Amino acid sequence: MKTVRLTMSQALIAFLKNQYVERDGTEIGFFAGTWGIFGHGNVGGVGQALRQDPNFKYYLSRNEQAMVHTALGFAKMSNRLRTFACTSSIGPGATNMVTGAAVATVNRLPVLLLPGDIFARRNVAPVLQQLESEHTQDISVNDSFKPVSRYWDRINRPDQLPSALLEAVRVLTSPADTGAVTLALPQDVQAEAWDYPAELFEKRVWTIPRPLADRALLRRAIEWIRSAKNPLIIAGGGVIYSDAAAALAKFCEKTGIAVGETQAGKGSLSYEHRCNLEAVGVTGTPGANIMAREADLVIAIGTRLSDFTTASKSAFQNPEVRFVNINVSQLDAHKHAALPLISDARAALEELTMALGNYQVSQEYAARVYRFRTEWQAEANRLFHLRHGPPISQGEVIGLVNQSSQPRDVVVCAAGSLPGDLHKLWRTRHPKGYHLEYGYSCMGYEIAAGLGVKMADPSREVYVMVGDGSYLIMPSEIVTSLQEGYKINIILLNNYGFSSIGGLSQSLGSGRFGTDYRFRNPSSNQLDGERIPVDFVGNAASLGAHAIRANTCDDLKRALEEARRQDRTTVVAVEVDKEQRVPGYESWWDVPVAEVSEMETVQQARAAYEKNLKKERIFL
Ligand SMILES: Cc1ncc(C[n+]2csc(CCOP(=O)(O)OP(=O)(O)O)c2C)c(N)n1
Ligand SMILES: [Mg+2]
C-alpha cells in the first residue's frame, strides 16, 4: 500500500479539499475552506497544515460562534451541497462553537467543527483552559458538543483519523442525518505524524441521493389525496433544499391544492402563485391558518412540524384530519402519526403529480383560496402604508426593503419580532430569496450568516434585517465582511430593546418586565429609567461600515438606494415604534402563564391560557 507521511492535521486538510458532492449530475467541492481563530490548541497543528496547503482557503473570523453562523449561512444558501470547516483552539474557542453546533443540528444544516482538545498524552495536564474532573481524565469541554452534534468523535491517535473522516462526511452529506459534525482534535495529536494510505487523499465524490417512497405507501397517499375535500400542503425547508420548488408549482397548478409555507419553506412558491397562501402557523396569514384549521388532509413536505408551524398542535381542528408527510428523515415523516413517505421531496412531488391524473380541488375551494389571497394582499398593503410616526412601523420598513430589493436578492434574519413579521409580509419571488434561521432562532446569527449567504452567491444583494438586541449581541462580523470584500446590506431596526419578548411578556401579564434597554432607575431600583441611547451609526462606522441613519419612510427609501450603490458593507439604522406591531392572525403559541399570582394581569392571562390550551391535540 502506498503511504504518505503526514501529521494528523495535514492529513485532515488533504482529505477535506478532495471531497465532492454530486446531485442530478452536477458535481461541486463540498468544503469551501476553513474558518478559524487560532490559539495554542490549534496553531501548531491545524494552523500549520493550513499554512502549508494554501489551496484550502483559510478565513479568519472574529468570534467562533459567528464563524459557525457564517458557515451555516453559506450551507443553507447552497441547499446543503457545500459548507465550511471551522477550527478553534481548546477551551473557550471550542465552547464558543457549541451554540453554532446547535443552530446547525436543529436546522439540519451541515458544518464540520474541529475544536482543539486537551493533550491525549496527559502528562502535562492540566494545560491552560483545561477542565479537570475528579472522576475521570477522559473528559474535556468538548464533550459538551455531544448532544448538539449528529456525529461526534475525538481523534486520540493519528491512525484513527481515516475512519472518523469517512463517518463525518457520510453524515454531513446525508440529507436525513446532516447537522453539526464535531471532530475533537487533541493538540498533541494534531502535530503527530503517521503513514496515511495515499488513497485517502484521492478525489472522492459523494452522491446525494433522491430516495423514492415505498410503493404501497405511495399508492395509499394517492388515494388519500383523491378523497380529500380540503387538502392543504405545508411546504418546509426540505422543498427548497431538494430543489423541488418547480415540482411543487407544477403539482399545485395541476391539482389546485393550496400551500402554507413554514419559515424554512418560505419561497417554495412565488408569493404571486395562485395557490400560495404564504406563511402558516403562529406567524401565518389568515387564509393559511383557516385552511389549516379545517383541512381534512395535510400534506407536510420537508418540515419538522415545529410548534410555530402547528400553532403548538392547535392548528388542525378538523376531527377527521390526516397527515401525509413527505420527508427524507424518518423522524419527521412519522410525526402526527402521518402516512410516512420517506422520500426526496422533488421525487415524491413528481410521482404524485403523475399519479393523480386529473384530480382537482373543487371550484368552491379554488374560489376561497383566491379570496384569501386577495384579502391578504390588501392587508399587507395596509401594513406597508400605515404612515405611522416617526418612529415609523416595522411593517413599513419591511415593505420598503422588499420594494427596493430585486427578485433574486436575499433577506436574512433569525430572532426578535422581525421573523414573524417577515414571515407574514415579505413577498418572496425566488426560492432562495428568504433566509430565516428559525429553528434555533439564535440572536447574533444575522450578520455573520449574511456574510455566508453573500459568499455562496455574490451575484445577489443580501439584506440582513436585524433588531437592536441581536445587533448588540454580534456586530463583529461587519469587520470580517470588510476583510473578505463581501458587501452586505444591514438594516438595523432600533426599538430600544425587545419588541418580541416585551410583547410576549405583556401578553403573559408581566408588563414587559426586563425587556427594555433602560438605565437603572435609582428611585425604583428597576430597569425603568431613561432609554439608553446607543449611537448605532457611529458604532457601525467605527467597525468600517458605511453607515446611514433613517428616520422617515423617505429617508429610508433614499438610504436603501445609497446602500445598494455601495461596494462595502453598509448599515442603515432606523428607529421603529415598538408599540406599532404587526398583529397575529387566527393562531396561538403555547407559552405557559404562571398558575398562581397576586398580579391581576397574570390571573387574566392565565384564564385565557387555560382556554386556549384545550385546543391542543394529540395525533395518534
Ligand atoms: C441568543 C439568544 N438569546 C435570547 C433569545 C430570546 N429572545 C428572542 S427575541 C429576543 C429579543 C430580540 O431583540 P431585538 O433583536 O431588538 O428584536 P425585537 O424583539 O426588538 O424585534 C430575545 C432576547 C434568543 N432568541 N437568542
Ligand atoms: Mg429591538
Give me the sheet containing 26-29, strands edge to edge. Answer: 26-29, 19-23, 204-207
CA of 441, closest atom in ligand 1: 25
Q: Which atom of ligand 1 is nearest to the CA of 497?
A: 16
Q: Which amino acid is at 353?
A: T
Does residue 516 line the site of ligand 1, with CB under 6 A? no
414 Cβ closer than 6 Å to some ligand 1 atom: no
Nearest to 113 by CA among 122, 103, 121: 103
* CB of 415 sitting under 6 A from ligand 1: yes
> What cell numbers appear for 50 in the block?
493550513
> What is the rounded CA–CA span in Å between residue 347 and residue 331?
19
The pLDDT value given to residue 184: 98
| Residue 480: closest CA among 20, 84, 50 | 84
What is the chain's length? 620
Instruction: Looking at the CA of residue 578, tell me the nearest atom of ligand 1.
Output: 20
Query: Does residue 556's CB lie within 6 angstroms of at least one atom of ligand 1?
Result: no
500 lines ligand 1 (CB under 6 A): yes
pLDDT of residue 50: 98
pLDDT at 139 (0 to 100): 97
What pLDDT does residue 609 have?
97
Q: Which residues of the chain have pLDDT under 70?
A: none
- Check if 475 has its Cβ closer than 6 Å to any atom of ligand 1: no
Atom nearest to 502 CA in ligand 1:
19
pLDDT, residue 132, reads 96
Of 99, 490, 501, best ligand 1 pocket probe by most atoms within 8 Å of the beta carbon? 501
Ligand 1 neighbourhood includes 495 CB (under 6 angstroms): yes
The predicted structure's pLDDT at residue 394:
98
Strand-pair category, 322-327 with 339-342 = parallel
Q: What tens digit of pLDDT does each residue of 180-201 get?
A: 999 999 999 999 999 999 999 9
Distance 514 CA to ligand 1 centre (A): 12
**pLDDT at res. 232:** 98
Query: What is the structure's pLDDT at 24?
Result: 97
Q: What per-residue confidence (pLDDT) applies to 144?
A: 98
> Which residues are paired to 181 by β-bridges?
112, 151
Cβ atoms of residues 151 and 12 within 8 Å: no
Distance 502 CA to ligand 2 centre (A): 9
Q: Is 418 in the pocket of ligand 1 (CB under 6 A)?
A: yes
Whether 443 lines ligand 1, by a CB cut-off of 6 Å, is yes
According to DSSP, residue 296 is labeled S
Ligand 1 nearest-atom number relative to CA 444 = 1
pLDDT of res. 100: 98
Q: Residue 369: its pLDDT value, please?
A: 98
Cis peptide before 319 (omega within 30 of 0): no
Give me the pLDDT at residue 525, please. 97
Ligand 2 centroid–CA 404 distance in Å is: 23
Neighbours of 567 (CB within 10 A): 8
The pLDDT of residue 75 is 99
